[in-house]
């Protein structure tokens, strides 16, 4: 059978582009589309950016690009939702889940010392598991994970099966965290949104799954981001290539796999 041809469709939107150094990230989005679905995919991303709680964009770019690399299919991480009463309790839990995922306490402490700086980029920051140092060179941009999507209807089937309210955000974040964690260089991820109206975040790892935490910041706070804890003994460049370029579909075939 001939492999279907796929297209990576990407959007980014920002404010105040007159002075690039002051530009504020509004929204970003990634989809994998067939040719016949490109119009629909562009519309999904357009809609996402036009109605955004971080504000109205005055710059937006939506692009599509044929994917040459073979697509990889992976199963979603196991999901667990941890209810917490406050942001403080959420952050204590996040740290203990990182430790459970194998991140040394001194590395976690070091990351939290630098947290405000690591939340600034729109993309993810990579931190070495052993030293706790930031190891990517993407400064104020960070790494943007791309070429990631669910196979058509697989997310809907997955969320129906688990009776999880299948919001768009969970759809995107679970796909991303699954891709990020599936590489040998990955140890764990810590994430919460930069959108002021969304306070749920997560700690994800292959070992512990996708552990949602219902409150990791206060409402109204526009600081958020992703920190990927990585094993630097693995080739960092090839991990970054994988995150940005390797096309990955999330595939869920039903309970018999669980
Ligand atoms: C984001 O969309 O900015 C990150 C959202 C992370 C949490 C998604 C969830 O599990 O509800
Ligand atoms: Mg985002
Ligand atoms: Mg956001
Ligand atoms: Mg950020």
pLDDT, tens digit, for every residue of 208-231? 999 999 999 999 999 999 999 999
Ligand of minimum distance to the alpha carbon of 26:
3
195 CA closest ligand 1 atom index: 3
Cα 226 to middle of ligand 4, angstroms:
7
CA of 193 to the centre of ligand 4 (A): 8
Look at ligand 1, atom 7, and give the residue with the nearest C-alpha: 201
Q: Which residue's alpha carbon is nearest to atom 3 within ligand 1?
A: 193
**Nearest CA-CA partner of 194 in 52, 62, 91, 60:** 52
Spell 191-220 as b/e; 16+ CB within 10 A means b: bbbbbbebbbbbbbbbebbbbbbbbbbeee
pLDDT digits (tens, 9 = 90+) for 98-112: 999 999 999 999 999
- The closest residue, in CA terms, to atom 8 on ligand 1 is 170
- The pLDDT value given to residue 166: 77
Instruction: Tell me the residues surrounding ligand 3 (ion) with CB < 5 Å.
Output: 194-195
For atom 10 of ligand 1, the residue with the nearest CA is 170
* pLDDT greater than 50 at residue 170: yes
Query: What spacing in Å lies between the alpha carbon of 255 and ligand 3's midpoint?
Result: 31
Q: Quote the tokens at residue 216.
A: 């990791």
Helix, strand or coil, per DSSP, at residue 186: strand
Residue 21's pLDDT is 65
Nearest protein CA to atom 5 of ligand 1, as residue: 193
Provide the percentage of residues in the chain whose pLDDT is more than 70. Answer: 95
Ligand 1 contact via 170 beta carbon (within 6 Å): yes
Strands of the chain, DSSP E: 7-15, 24-33, 59-66, 72-74, 79-82, 124-128, 148-150, 186-192, 201-205, 209-213, 225-230, 248-250
Cα separations (Å) of 4 from 38, 69, 75, 154, 185?
14, 12, 20, 17, 29
pLDDT in tens, 126-146: 999 999 999 999 999 999 999
195 Cα–ligand 1 center, Å: 9
State the pLDDT confidence band at 233, using cuts at 50, 70 and 90.
Answer: confident
| Ligand 1 atom nearest to CA at 210 | 10
pLDDT score for 79: 96
Distance (Å, whole) CA 191 – CA 230: 15
Q: Distance between CA atoms of 179 and 76, rounded to whole angstroms?
A: 9
Q: CA angle at residue 183 from 79 to 161, to 5 degrees?
A: 25
As a whole number of angstroms, the distance between CA 178 and CA 180 comes to 6
């Amino acid at each position: 059978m001939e492999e279907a041809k796929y297209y990576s469709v990407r959007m980014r939107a920002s404010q105040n582009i007159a002075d690039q150094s002051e530009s504020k990230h509004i929204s970003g989005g990634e989809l994998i589309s067939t040719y016949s679905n490109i119009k629909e995919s562009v519309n999904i991303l357009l809609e996402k950016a036009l109605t955004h709680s971080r504000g109205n964009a005055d710059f937006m770019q939506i692009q599509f690009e044929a994917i040459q690399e073979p697509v990889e299919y992976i199963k979603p991480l196991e999901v667990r939702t941890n209810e917490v009463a406050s942001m403080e309790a959420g952050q204590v839990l996040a740290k203990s889940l990182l430790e459970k995922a194998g991140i040394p306490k001194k590395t976690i402490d070091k990351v939290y010392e630098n947290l405000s700086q690591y939340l600034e980029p729109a993309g993810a920051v990579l931190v070495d598991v052993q030293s706790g140092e930031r190891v990517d060179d993407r400064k104020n941009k960070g790494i943007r994970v791309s070429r990631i999507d669910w196979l058509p209807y697989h997310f809907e089937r997955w969320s129906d099966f688990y009776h999880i309210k299948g919001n768009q955000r969970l759809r995107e974040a679970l796909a991303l965290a699954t891709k990020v964690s599936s590489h040998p260089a990955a140890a764990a991820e810590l994430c919460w949104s930069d959108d002021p109206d969304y306070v749920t975040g997560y700690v994800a790892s292959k070992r512990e799954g996708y552990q949602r935490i219902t409150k990791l910041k206060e409402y109204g706070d526009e600081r958020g981001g992703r920190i990927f804890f990585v094993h630097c003994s693995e080739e960092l460049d090839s991990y970054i290539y994988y995150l940005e370029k390797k096309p990955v579909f999330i595939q869920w075939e039903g309970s018999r796999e669980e």
